A = this chain, B = another copy of it.
């Protein structure tokens, strides 16, 4: 009884393209979700984000529960109204940031306890509280279970411990979430780089039953090759008829290789973070606009793009903005990068629909990595 229909319209090898239908609008897959950490996709207006073709954005539970607080967002009408984004929002569980950003954290069977990076205040996050924050207070459309993302590299025993805790928290999350008409819950597969653990994790999640399934614990330092090796088998352990979401990924080449292995959804801070630091992602690979060779380059980043930031401004001007440390440089390059990631997923969707994904994959790699 999945609340959001997921219609797979075409497959090409393991790659799939389709639509996840939500009350707030369709999510075309493969989908890239721009990250709106603190109720803003950094340096962009929601209209700019929308114009890039993004169907859904991600919000971070950890940041929002600390500032302005989930209760305040609720009193202000929920996250969509607060930030003026009326399409779907996926929120993470807060677990990953608790472990990577916060002060000393204590992890028990019951909960994770941590100190705020904002003001040092102490907070407790349980699977149930994470559901309450995401589903009841922020009001997100796609809710993620709280999990433990084990650091890489991990011994198998440590990876198993994290996977098993995540599985028990998956059950508690599901019990707390129940069944809702307009919101769905995704479970998260863990198991580090161990195939047997990934399989066992998936079996436990399927037994509980979720509306979608994420692959967690990757893109944590293992590198592209090791990630691809896990993705050779990990998506296949998850139900074919539900969306598969690879969390925190990644570079354009990571997206293409993950789609080739059956992944449907992605999120990553890379395009906005790169954009704030002068790096533009293009079909021809990443370029650093601070480089002197762009000082009098009158060409835009992408003359064929519909995005004004990609199409209308010269590299020389963008470089000037970064050299002069002007905010507009960060605005335009974040905008361009998000537009590029959306163009990339759109191109993958078209290639899969037309049965030429393998050719696309080869051409993309040759051009993007060849420069």
Chain A residues at the B interface, C-beta cutoff of 8 Å: 38-40, 42-45, 47, 63, 67-68, 72, 75-77, 82-84, 276, 295-296, 298, 308, 312-314, 316-317, 320-321, 323-324, 326-328, 330-332
From B67, B84, B317, contact of A313 by CB (8 A): B84
In the complex, the 4 A-B pairs of residues with the closest C-beta atoms, listed nearest first: A43-B327, A38-B324, A40-B328, A68-B320
Shortest CB-to-CB span from A117 to chain B, Å, is: 12
List the B residue with the shortest CB-CB distance to A317: B82
* B76 pairs with A298, CB closer than 8 A: yes
Bound Cα distance from A254 to B82, whole angstroms: 35
Closest Cβ of chain B to A66, distance in Å, is 10
Residue in B closest to A47 when the chains form the complex, CB atoms: B308
Measured CA separation A330–B43 after assembly (Å)? 9
User: How many angstroms from the CA of A63 to the CA of B320 in the assembled complex?
Assistant: 12
- Give the chain B neighbours of A276 by CB distance below 8 A: 327
CB distance from A105 to the nearest CB of B (A): 21
Q: Is the CB of A295 within 8 A of B68?
A: yes
Nearest-neighbor residue (CB-CB) of A319 within chain B: B68
Closest chain B CB from A306 CB (angstroms): 15
Query: How far does the alpha carbon of A242 sit from the alpha carbon of B290 in the complex, in Å?
Result: 44
The interface residues of chain B lying within 8 Å CB-to-CB of A313 are 84
In the complex the two chains form, what is the Cα distance from A63 to B332 in whole Å? 21
| Chain B residues positioned under 8 Å from A295 (CB to CB) | 68, 72
Instruction: Decide: B327 and A67 in contact? CB cutoff 8 A.
Output: no
Between-chain CB contacts (< 8 Å), 6 pairs = A67-B323, A72-B316, A75-B296, A76-B296, A276-B327, A327-B327
Q: How far is the CA of A313 from the CA of B82 in the complex (A)?
A: 8
If the complex has contacts A82-B317, A312-B84, A331-B331, are A77 and B298 also in contact, measured as CB distance less than 8 A? yes
Taking the closest CB of chain B, its distance from the CB of A151, in whole angstroms, is: 27
Query: Does A68 contact B328, Cβ atoms closer than 8 Å?
Result: no
Least Cβ–Cβ distance between A337 and chain B, in angstroms: 14
Q: Give the residues in chain B near A296, CB-CB below 8 Å.
A: 72, 75-76
Q: Is B331 a contact partner of A327 (Cβ separation < 8 A)?
A: yes
